[in-house]
Amino acid sequence: MARSAPTEWTAPAPPGTPVNVAGPSVPLAPARSRRSRARRGVLFLLMVAVAAVMLYPFYFMITTSFHTEAQYQTGHGSSISSWTTLGQTVPIGQQLLNSTLICAASIAIILVVSISAGFAFSKLQFRGSQGVFLALVGAMMVPLQSILIPEYVNVSRLGLTNNYTGAILVYAALGTPFATFLMTTYFRGLPDELIEAAVVDGLSYPATLWRVALPLALPAIATVTVLQFVQIWDDLLVGLLFLQNPAERPITVGLAVLASGRTTSVPILMAGSLVSALPAMVVYLGFQRYLVRGLTLGVGK
Amino acid sequence: MAEITFDRVTKVYPDGTSAVSELSLDIADGEFVVLVGPSGCGKTTALRMVAGLEEISRGELRIGGRVANHMLPRGRDIAMVFQNYALYPQKSVYNNMAFALKIRNVPKDEIDRRVREAARILGLTQYLERKPKALSGGQRQRVAMGRAIVREPQAFLMDEPLSNLDAKLRVDMRAEIARIQRMLGATTIYVTHDQVEAMTMGDRVAVMRGGILQQVDAPERLYEQPANLFVASFIGSPAMNLVEASLEAESGRLHCRFGDSSLAVSDICRQARPEIEAYAGRRVVVGFRSEDITDATSAPEAGADRRLKAVIEVREALGSEILAHFSLGEERAGLALAGDVIEEQDGGASSPRSRRFVARLGPRAPVREGERAELVVDTDRLHFFDPESGLALGRSRT
Amino acid sequence: MAALVTPVAMSRSVERSQRPRRMRLSTQRRLTGLVLSIPALALVVAFVVIPIVQAVYYSMTQWNGVTSTWIGPSAYTQTFHNPAFWQVLTNNGLLLLAVPFALAIPLGIAVLLHERVRGWKFFRSVYFLPTAISWVVIGMVAERFFAYDGPLDKIIGSHTDFLGSSSTALLALAITFVWSMIGTNTVIFLTGLATLDTTVQEAAFVDGATAWQSFSNVTLPHLKRFVQLAFIMTVISAFSALFSLIFVMTGGGPGYSTTTMEFFVYQTGFSQSEFGTAALYGIVLFVMMAVVGIVQLKLIRSE
């Protein structure tokens, strides 16, 4: 998003503001700058207020985690005991590892199938490919809950709920439609001539995907990876049902189970929540532009 | 290098539309042939069939004597320059050029030699490590050329390679491509919609329209002896003045009359085009190029049967010359100009053409907008066409 | 395919000129395309499409996980006589009322931020950040926030257990939901605003439009597709991700007052072991999603 940095009072107020009833904001005359500055001040404070609302959970989690349960009830004092006992209450290391494993495997599958399908739907159309594409993308609208029972029955009958496999496959299947949609949209943006040039240069189609299209798809791959990572890392339902062995629970599920039990101390839960939220937050802040791109790629911009 | 032969090559799409019909064309080894025509004329399809990117429905395509209909692109040993260059954005200029050679397992030092040689020819040596993004349009165009050159292929195919450049650069690159082509002696098929490009670059120019080849000839012959009305109106800028006229024999002379005007066909012209005798008393389309018109003050000796009484409607002073757009006074509305004939043939598809004539006059010709002027036509250089078939009469003049 | 048919004579001459086992380019292209799309297709068919068919079958059985009896379509009429089902459905309907708020609030924030408030990039990141935390964590914090004598009670000076009272629990859930959607939707709208061609707005001002007229005639129509995207994302979340919030915050209670269809499926299947009925609720959820999707499409088309 290339925007010029906001300049001082001479900057024309970007138009299209419902609250600005002062009339057209075509370049402001200096006489009106005071009013404009006041308006900007009010806006700034408003944004700070919204920021406070949005950041409240982090504030709550951090402060609470530095209390004991008793301190949390009274609201006085501070302690790091919930951090020191966190590891004993929750197998946090194992759960982080589980989350990582499951995320990595699911994302790997999603990437492989969505890249190849996206390339096929955009550059290697076959008879009926448009229909297959629409059906695949339509699967995006099916909530897991609506097929939860048969899904659970199938996966457990195959004996896949006893290890990571079942959850990984379900995550992969649920993530594939949107990922395929993103990859297809992305590859459509590549000129057909690029593929033709590669073919004239002597590549087969699979080799064109591997040597020409794939290196160009890195931004889209990043988008899919980040979106799916956050999605899977933060998911509850699949991990809850398709991982029967508690030792294989990912961190989000582990926390949810503890929380629903209502016996665990709130400060420890909050410490655990912070730990669980950290990886996703780091990924979010680090790859924000890929997320934004992914969110809006469907709009065709 | 190799010769390329189209033998009644036809392309019909699954929906039944035919893009190219019965195209027969022999391109000699080392020849530069330009396919030119308006958009949708089938020129790009023809090129893509040579590249192997488009299947041939009927007919035979031979490259270097071998039937190539079903060869894969990589087996054809041809290189193509695309309109949008289709450079690999993630690769440096060097690797863009080297890529096809790497695929073919050409030894590394040979790749290096060829890439550096091509870079030298194209003046890209200092940009070899850059990515295409960091290049100007003209430089990208050169890289696309370089990618083709290093292949040392049987033939070069170029699909409107200059159309994404601005006007001045286009003129420079035009000469550049022609120079390189001659230097390499490479068989080249060049597709463009720009007749100026076609005329300046090609050894021969093939004019296409609606999937049908209209005429193949050297540029001068194409200009001097267009085979039909379409070629006459398409080649040359400004376009040839064409008007429907009646050809009347009067005391041993032939006159073509349109509106109030009448031009006598000169003896030279009659000898060159004996076919027109059979059209005496019938309607023809007569054509004359804008440069074959002068103003009467610079040709005082010209007889009345060569003169047109014109009303100058628009005067475009270009410095070295004046383009005078004129009508023939009050009778203008009754005249069927060439544009109408062409439009009928297109089923009204093409845009409405000017209903005016154009004369290319000397820079100091005394013409003013809105005023009358007397113009003299070089009646040795009249063109005649059959109004029904559109075919030129007496094209056999040598 | 007509293009594949070649006169016999010609294909013979072609075979002579090259190795016959080579496939044509267009055949290679189609075949490669087909092969490359199979893994994605197989995965989705196996884990999404087939289960839909199974769900329809299961929905007409009575099945406790061990014994299964076929009931047929009357299973649906039985369900429609269950008052809990209607309450759950009503809850879903009420939660849908939160969707306009989940769109309007971010739209307002985005438009204001677009005014180039100082530090707007920082604010954008801050607003986006909560999107990274899981619904589970959000739910845990929200549960404390709405608790008896919790932060909310302190702010408004009351002593209410918002989640424990059936009159306020759903509202608390809806507020949490709207809050969680703010980040995503704000960023969607900000992206939309960034793609706005400012010359059109300038033209509107030159034409004498007020700020509000410019917003409603230029900005909002431009954002239409982004609003659609945000709408779809929000509804999908309401119909699936809300599960985690309910699981952590209320467990569906008190009574059924915060049970929505997506939670109902889970509860019926895995707490009460009524797999057949749970599958039926799944089908109902599927139909609800389809209806919203179709209405949404119709709305786009009608414009």
Q: List strand residue ranges (DSSP E) for chain C, in order.
A: 61-63, 68-70
Contact between A12 and A26 under an 8 Å Cβ cutoff? The reply is yes
Phi-psi region of B132 (alpha: psi -120 to 50; beta: other; left: phi over 0): alpha
Would the CA dihedral through C182, C183, C185, C191 be positive or negative? Answer: positive
> Between chains, do A60 and C206 touch, taking CB under 8 Å as contact?
no
Give how far Cα C63 sits from Cα of C191, C267, C286, Å. 49, 15, 20
Task: Give the chain C residue nearest B60 (alpha carbons).
Answer: C10
Burial of residue B195 (CB within 10 Å: 0-12, 13-18, 19+) is buried
Contact at CB, A57 and C182, closer than 8 angstroms: no
Rounded CA separation B287/B283 (Å): 13
- Rounded alpha-carbon distances, angstroms, from residue B267 to A60, B256, B290, B368: 105, 14, 21, 33
Among C residues 178-217, those touching chain A with beta carbons less than 8 Å apart? 179, 182-184, 187-188, 191-196, 198, 201-202, 204-206, 208-212, 214-215
Say what the ipTM of the complex is.
Answer: 0.82
| Least CB–CB distance from B57: residue in C3, C11, C16 | C3
Of the CA atoms within 13 Å of residue B266, those in its CB half-sphere come to 15
Q: What b/e readout covers B274-312, taking b as 16+ CB neighbours within 10 angstroms?
A: ebbeebeeebbbbbbbbebbbbbeebeebeeebbbbbbb
Average pLDDT of every residue of chain A: 81
A132 touching C (Cβ < 8 Å): yes
Count of other CB atoms within 10 angstroms of residue A23: 10
- CB C140 within 8 Å of CB C196: no
β-pairing, B383-385 vs C61-63, is unpaired
Alpha-carbon gap: B76 to the closest alpha carbon of chain A (Å): 9
CA dist., res. C40 & res. C38, Å (int): 6
C108 CA to centre of own chain? 21
Let me know if A247 is exposed, middle or buried by CB neighbors in 10 A (0-12, 13-18, 19+): exposed
Shortest distance, CA C302 to any CA of chain A (angstroms): 19
CB contacts, 8 Å: C31 with chain B: none
**Residue A163 DSSP code:** S
Q: Of the candidates C30, C247, C285, which has its C-beta nearest A146's C-beta?
A: C285
Element (H, E) at C96: helix C83-96
Neighbours of chain B (3+ CB pairs under 8 A): A, C
Question: Quick one: B241 exposed, middle or buried, by C-beta within 10 A (0-12, 13-18, 19+)?
Answer: buried
Domain boundaries, chain A: 34-81, 90-300
Mean pLDDT, chain B, whole residue set: 87
From CA C91, how far away is CA C83, in angstroms rounded?
Answer: 12
**Nearest-CA distance A110 → chain B (Å):** 24
Q: What's the rounded Cα separation, in Å, for the pair B1 and B155?
A: 6
**B133 vs chain A: nearest CA distance in angstroms?**
13
Give tens-digit pLDDT for A148-201.
Answer: 888 998 898 888 888 899 999 999 999 999 999 989 988 998 899 999 999 998
Residues C18-48 have pLDDT tens digits of: 444 567 888 889 999 999 999 999 999 999 9
Tell me how close the Cα of B132 comes to any Cα of chain A, in angstroms: 13
Mean pLDDT of B286-293: 91
- Smallest CA–CA distance from B89 into chain A, residue: A216
Residues 78-97, chain A: which have Cβ within 8 Å of C?
Answer: none
Q: Tell me the chain C residues in contact with residue A121 when contact means C-beta distances shorter than 8 Å.
A: 33, 37
Lowest mean pLDDT among A233-247, B195-209, C104-118, C154-168: C154-168
Higher per-residue confidence, C19 vs C245? C245
Nearest-CB residue to B86 (from A196, A202, A207)? A196
Residue C207 pLDDT more than 60?
Answer: yes
Number of CB pairs < 8 Å for A and C? 355
- C-alpha distances out from residue C74 to C7, C77, C79, C86, C96, Å: 61, 5, 9, 17, 29
Quote the percentage of chain B above a pLDDT of 70: 92
Give mean pLDDT, residues C162-178: 87
Examine residue C254 and say whether the peptide bond preceding it is cis (omega within 30 degrees of 0): yes
Q: And the tokens for A255?
A: 């926390």
Report residue B1 as tokens. 């290098």
* Nearest neighbour of A200 by CB, restricted to B51, B83, B104: B51
Give the pLDDT confidence of A273-297 residue by residue, as tens digits.
Answer: 888 888 888 888 888 777 777 766 6
Nearest-CB residue to A202 (from B83, B84, B104): B104
Residue C120 DSSP code: H
pLDDT given at position C106: 93
pLDDT band at C131 (very low <50, low <70, confident <90, very high): confident
Q: Is C119 left (phi over 0), alpha (psi -120 to 50) or beta?
A: left
* pLDDT (tens digit per residue) in A10-51: 333 343 333 333 334 444 444 456 677 788 888 888 889 999
Residue C235 has pLDDT above 50, yes or no: yes
Q: For the segment A108-135, what is each residue's pLDDT rounded down to a tens digit?
A: 999 999 999 999 999 998 988 999 999 9
The pLDDT assigned to B1 comes to 67
* Tokens 């995907």, residue located: A209
Which secondary-structure segment (H or E) carries B248?
A: strand B241-250
What is the pLDDT averaged over residues A224-233? 89
Would you say C111 and A20 are in contact if contact means Cβ atoms under 8 Å apart?
A: no
CB-count exposure of residue A119 (10 Å: 0-12, 13-18, 19+): buried
Strands, E assignment, C122-220: none
Interface of B with C in 88-127 (CB under 8 A): none
CA–CA min distance A102, chain C (Å): 16
Strands B155-159 and B188-192: parallel
User: Does the pLDDT of residue A56 top 60, yes or no?
Assistant: yes
Q: Which of C4, C5, C8, C10 to mutate to test the interface with B (most CBs of B within 10 A)?
A: C10
Residue B169: its H or E element: helix B167-184
Please give the average per-residue pLDDT across B164-179, as a whole number: 88
Residue B292 contacts residue B223 (beta carbons within 8 Å): no
Strand, coil or helix: what is B224?
helix
Verify whether the Cβ–Cβ distance A259 to C205 is below 8 Å: no
pLDDT beyond 90 at C196: no
Tell me the shortest Cα–Cα distance from B77 to chain A, in angstroms.
8
- pLDDT exceeds cutoff 70 at B76: yes
CATH tag, A90-300? 1.10.3720.10
Rounded to whole angstroms, how far apart are CA atoms A146 and C281?
Answer: 7
Q: What digits encode the pLDDT tens for the residues A243-270?
A: 888 888 899 898 888 887 766 788 888 8
The set of residues, in sequence order, having a beta carbon less than 8 Å from that of B177 and lying 6+ positions away, is B145, B158, B161, B162, B190, B201
Which positions 218-237 of C are in contact with A (Cβ < 8 Å)? 218-219, 225-226, 229, 233, 236
Checking if the pLDDT of B335 tops 90, the result is no
